[in-house]
Amino acid sequence: MVAIGLLVYLIALDVYIHILAIIALYVIYKFISKRYVKKLDITEKGLFITGCDTGIGHAAALRLRKAGFLVFAGCLKPDSDGAKVLKEKGGGRIRVIPLDVTNDESIKQALETTRQGLPESGLWGVINNAGIELAAEIEFASIDMMKRVADVNFYGMVRVTKAFLPLIRKARGRVVNVTSVKGRLPWPADTAYVSSKYAAEAFSDILRREMYRFGVKVVIIEPGRFSNITGILQGDRLNVAVDELNQSWERASEEVKEAYGRRCIDDLITALREDGKFGPTSLDPVTDAMLDALVNVNPKCRYLVHGTHQPIDKFCVLALLNQYLPEPLFDHFSRWILPLPPVNQQVLKPGS
């Protein structure tokens, strides 16, 4: 027994030492990779960004123009206040281009306009950033809602990428796809948005592996909780999301209404309103990640960018737990950390 106990102790000690060695090597690697990053010369390189009217796309256009890129900023509304700001602050190095990522003809025209204005070095990067948010639990989310969200968040990304890839391949450049922390976190009551972001993550991973042989790098940016300053759930967009929830209640069958109760909708509306009130005051962490993705000789495959109260962002922490914990354990944990409104217990009784 003593020999067995000693053997178990030695094995445990050996495992512990190996774990410590792995952690130490990882810390050293992170230190060296940050201290000795090899960066590319981006002087006079072209860059195309979608969704630049507001939020992340708008901030990225200004930040990356300052870094030295010639920015072609795709805006859904080229006469919007955000587009006007880009024109005023761009100093000739931000060119606003009309773009609707759900319209093939609009993308074709944006491609041609960009092609005509490119410097000799060509188009170095495309940042697919355009996105919308409509939330609802699965039984309230209409197929039309799912399609509208996917048309922008997923198919819009696919359309733009396919159109601009020939230019990117020629430059051996970069495709940077903005998904979300929810592209790694199956957040309840956000069916359409989360599904579209999971699809965008899969598309980006596949594209990265296909483009490797052309020397093109594909990078994913996963912003955490930044909704208070992105505009995705602010002003008119918030009103649209709230109206959609109210309509989803009206469309629901009496059976679904009885099972869930109106509180399900009201609590989600409250959560959407509250989510837009709190969070970080700057989008710099996201635009910094974009810049590194574009200029680092060896960028990460994905950048999970913490938002609220950095470096602790509930969404990002949960995404990491979802990645590493066994699924049944995370499911149980999520019922506590991601509570949903109680349902009508009467409808759960046999024969009811």
Q: Which residues are catalytically annotated?
A: 193
Distance CA 169, CA 191 (A): 34
- Helix or strand run (H / E) with residue 167: helix 155-171
Distance CA 185, CA 188 (A): 9
Distance CA 193, CA 197 (A): 6
Kindly state the tokens that stand for 260.
């869930």
Contact (CB, 8 A) for 54 and 33: no
Distance CA 109, CA 104 (A): 9
Kindly state the tokens that stand for 76.
């859904």
Contact (CB, 8 A) for 302 and 220: yes
- Strands 123-128, 94-98: parallel, antiparallel or unpaired by DSSP? unpaired
Contact (CB, 8 A) for 209 and 203: no
Phi/psi at 350 (5° precision): -55, 135
Phi/psi at 319 (5° precision): -60, -40
- Helix or strand run (H / E) with residue 9: helix 2-35
> Which residues, in sequence order, are CB contacts of 315 under 8 Å at separation 6+?
181, 182, 185, 187, 224, 225, 307
Chain centroid to CA 149 = 13
The owner of tokens 């048309």 is 151
